[in-house]
Amino acid sequence: MFAQDEDAHSVYNVTSGSVRLYRLLPDGRRQVVGFAIPGDFLGLSLQAAPSTAPRR
């Protein structure tokens, strides 16, 4: 998969189980920011998404 601050080069679909989403804090601890469950996609980023606005 991918780590914090890394670009995702693939899209993942959770099909079973769950995935813990966390961020590493400066002191080495993990802060859980959410969970992905079956049907969720990981690796999609709004910053990397192509623009859907019409070009003039």
Which domain does 20 fall in, by range? 12-42
Query: Is-contact 33 23, C-beta < 8 A?
Result: yes
Burial class for 17, CB neighbours closer than 10 Å (0-12, 13-18, 19+): exposed
- Give the whole-number percent of the chain exceeding pLDDT 70: 64
Residue 23 lies in a domain: yes
In a domain, 31, yes or no: yes
The beta strands (E) that lie in the chain are given as 12-13, 19-24, 30-36, 41-42
Q: Does 54 have pLDDT greater than 80?
A: no
| 53 within a domain of the structure (yes/no) | no
Number of domains in the chain: 1
Name the DSSP class of 51.
P
Domain-located, residue 19: yes
In a domain, 30, yes or no: yes
Secondary structure class of 12 (helix, strand, coil): strand
Give 13-52 pLDDT, tens digit per residue. 999 999 999 999 999 999 999 999 999 998 876 555 555 5
